[in-house]
Structure 1
Amino acid sequence: MADVEVSVSGRRYKLSCRDGEEDHLRALVRMVDVKAEEITGALGEMTEARTLLLSALLIADELNDMRGAAAVARNESGAEAEPDPAYAVAIERIAERVERLANQLERTGE
């Protein structure tokens, strides 16, 4: 396992990932950081947990839109649109992680 130091909304975090996945993790964190910056710019300062939650919701909304567009494209091309159950599992895991992080942040007051 590799440890990676990242920053979201100016706060530093130490995360772990599989060896070789460090750049991918940094790219994902950058996506979250961009959303957090957008939220803070639009709504002003708020708690870290709320910023992260809203960032996750915006990213999930974008993913949902892309999945819908992909389904429409498949239907237009004549292919049968069958949802991949792995997407639902992945989204559920992401939501659980965000919820755990928000709960942890609320408990620790960070």
Structure 2
Amino acid sequence: MSSHVNVTINGRQYRMACEPGQEGQLLRLASDLESRIGLLRGKFGEIGDARLVVMAALTVCDELIDAGARIKALEGELAGLRDVRTAATDRARATQVAVANALNAAAERIEKTTQVLNRTVGGGVAIG
């Protein structure tokens, strides 16, 4: 089932169908288009209703194309940032493994040194 909304575009009323719950959005879209037409009328004067509507539509299309290009650029930038984050995470993991291995190796050397000292110093008296 669809809803109906009366919108004004270029000074004319139109009865438009929309999905239930989308009435407000349709009214906002019509208001935006009406504002664009008004701005163009103020800039170019009375150049004909059809031309004003076409110019407003072309303005919207131009903005849509620009927005699409910006979205693609941002998606590329986001992908690059994800790659950098993945590389940084991999480096951090490798660093953590290297530090853990170094600490384990140092602990083993300390343990071996303690064992040697225990055997050789003080006639078998334990140190540490």
TM-score after normalising by structure 1: 0.64
Residue 77 of structure 1 deviates from its aligned partner by: 2.4
Residue 46 of structure 1 deviates from its aligned partner by: 2.5
Q: 1:71-110 residue pairs with structure 2 within 5 A? A: 71-78=72-79
Larger radius of gyration: 2
- In structure 2, what is the Cα distance between the partners aligned to 1:19 and 1:75? 36
> Residues 77 and 38 of structure 1: is their aligned pair in 2 closer, same or farther, counting only changes over 3 Å?
same
- In structure 1, what is the Cα distance between the partners aligned to 2:31 and 2:8? 8
Partner deviation per Cα, 1:36-81 (whole Å, 9 max, x = no partner): 11111111113222111111110010011111111111222236xx
Aligned twin of 1:23: 24
Gaps of 5+ in 1: 80-110
Aligned twin of 1:37: 38
- In structure 2, what is the Cα distance between the partners aligned to 1:17 and 1:32? 17
1:30 counterpart letter in structure 2: S
- In structure 2, what is the Cα distance between the partners aligned to 1:51 and 1:63? 18
User: Larger relative CO (CA 8 A, sep 6+): 1 or 2?
Assistant: 1
- In structure 2, what is the Cα distance between the partners aligned to 1:13 and 1:45? 21
Residue 26 of structure 1 deviates from its aligned partner by: 0.5
The answer to which structure has the higher helix fraction is 2
Root mean square deviation, CA, Å: 1.5
Aligned twin of 2:50: 49
Partner deviation per Cα, 1:63-102 (whole Å, 9 max, x = no partner): 11111111111222236xxxxxxxxxxxxxxxxxxxxxxx
Aligned twin of 1:96: none
- In structure 2, what is the Cα distance between the partners aligned to 1:74 and 1:18? 31
